[in-house]
Amino acid sequence: MKAKTIAAILFISTLILELYFYHIGDILETGMRQINNINLSSPNMRLFVRGSTLIISINNTDNFPVIIYNITGKYNYLPQKEVIPPNSIENISAIVTNATYLVSNIRSNNYSICIELGIFNTNISIKQVI
Amino acid sequence: MTIRYFTIISLLFNIIVAVLPGYWWYYSVGNIIIVKDSLFYLNINLLGNNIEIIKVINMLLFAFRVYVIVISISLLISTIRGNKVSYLLISWASIFYILDPIIMYFAFNYLVSYFIPFHYNFFIIGKEIATFQYQYKITMLIESYPSIQYWFALFVGILNLVSKFIRNY
């Protein structure tokens, strides 16, 4: 019984010391700010056709790297996977198998691509018509 | 006077378990959310960043470590003096910690899925690939593992439980 009282007193005093030395106000403030700032935005993409290569400009606005495994369509594919560092814009060039069909399909807004990207251990595949 | 080595050793191990800084269980939802927890420690990592607000919970858990250590030491002293007393907190905690994945299942499936739409299948130990269709098709690796420290805590817990029931050791 006596031991439990001593232990309880030490429990409370440890807690008070921690609250004092670790500046509980600061932790709560930064903690709440961090939670408010969490947002997961999908990377922005823009496409250019230059000669027989398709250039995909990807803007990664998140603060973690995004791996582009493949961007495939009927007339294009990626030669290798690309890593886009956090908060940066990268231009990826895809190999085009038939440039004339690709351009005409894109002009008529009728070209569908599948983007396979990875964040951490998660893979996301997005199908889009451009 | 008999010296109760068994109880003394299990109480000493109790202190070691309370001092060890690591985690008992590890959960990962596609590495987007990583949770490491034990009776005395909690860490939640979201999108590569540790959640700062959890430090407040860790302060409470650190004070709880002090509480457990102080009680273990005082029971150790009285056992050495001749009054055998067992302390079963680590025993019950480590045995019931096998239920921790069930709590995580409810937390992930009903709390987190409110913000990120995903389905967390129920399983206790291991890893599996979960696929679901949201706006996109998402494939993620879900992991749930106990650490070596958990097995050690469980061993110490069982040691303490045994010391309760054997009278003169």
Top-ranked range on mean pLDDT: pick from A19-23, B102-106, B156-160? B156-160
Report the C-alpha gap between A14 and A62 in whole angstroms.
Answer: 39
Which of A123, A126, A127 would you mutate first to test chain B, the one with the most B CBs within 10 A?
Answer: A123
Question: Over 90: is that where the pLDDT of B156 sits?
Answer: yes
Write out the two tokens for B145.
């593992």
Do residues A71 and A21 both lie within one domain? no
Residues of chain B positioned with their CB less than 8 A from the CB of A122: 30-32, 138-141
Q: In total, how many domains does chain B have?
A: 1
Write out the two tokens for A27.
């932790």
Indicate the length of chain B as a whole number.
169
What is the pLDDT at residue B35? 92
- In B108-147, the residues whose Cβ lies within 8 Å of chain A are 136-141
More confident residue, A23 or B63: B63
What is the pLDDT at residue B43? 93
* Average per-residue pLDDT for chain A: 85
What is the pLDDT at residue A46? 83
- Please state the rounded mean pLDDT for residues B96-117: 81
CA distance A116 to chain B (A): 9
Between the CA of residue A128 and those of A83, A106, A110, B61, B103, what are the distances in Å? 21, 12, 10, 48, 38
pLDDT bucket at B25, cuts 50 / 70 / 90: very high
Do residues A60 and A122 both lie within one domain? yes
Do residues A73 and A28 both lie within one domain? no
Do the Cβ atoms of A78 and A70 come closer than 8 Å? yes
Do residues A97 and A58 both lie within one domain? yes
Do residues A120 and A72 both lie within one domain? yes
Residues of chain B positioned with their CB less than 8 A from the CB of A62: 47
Q: In total, how many domains does chain A have?
A: 2
- Residue ranges making up the domain that contains A7: 2-37
User: Is A11 in Cβ contact with B63 (below 8 Å)?
Assistant: yes
Burial letters B122-145, b for 16+ CB under 10 A, else e = eeeeeeeebeeeeebebbbbbbbe
Do residues A72 and A31 both lie within one domain? no
Report the C-alpha gap between B68 and A64 in whole angstroms.
Answer: 39
Query: In 3D, which of A105, A92, A95, A96 has the Cα closest to residue A46?
Result: A92
Measure CB to CB from residue A14 to each of B30, B52, B66 and give the nearest one. B66
Do residues A69 and A101 both lie within one domain? yes
Question: Over 90: is that where the pLDDT of B15 sits?
Answer: yes
Do residues A33 and A55 both lie within one domain? no
CATH number of the domain encompassing residue A66: 2.60.40
- Please state the rounded mean pLDDT for residues B135-164: 89
Do residues A16 and A75 both lie within one domain? no
User: Is B47 in Cβ contact with A62 (below 8 Å)?
Assistant: yes
What is the pLDDT at residue A73? 84
- In B44-63, the residues whose Cβ lies within 8 Å of chain A are 46-49, 51-53, 55-56, 59-60, 62-63
- Residue ranges making up the domain that contains B139: 5-165
- Please state the rounded mean pLDDT for residues A103-116: 85
Do the Cβ atoms of A121 and B31 come closer than 8 Å? yes
Do residues A25 and A51 both lie within one domain? no
Do the Cβ atoms of B94 and A54 come closer than 8 Å? no
Number of H helices, E strands in chain A: 3, 8
pLDDT bucket at B1, cuts 50 / 70 / 90: low
Between the CA of residue A50 and those of A55, B62, B147, what are the distances in Å? 7, 61, 53
Do residues A28 and A79 both lie within one domain? no
Task: Report percent pLDDT > 70 for chain A.
Answer: 98
A-B CB pairs within 8 A amount to 97
> Residue A55, CB half-sphere, CA atoms under 13 Å: how many?
8
Do residues A51 and A81 both lie within one domain? yes
pLDDT bucket at A27, cuts 50 / 70 / 90: confident
**Unique residue bearing structure tokens 């979201």:** B46
Which of B15, B27, B29, B31 would you mutate first to test chain A, the one with the most A CBs within 10 A?
Answer: B31
Residue in chain A lying closest to B54 (CA): A31
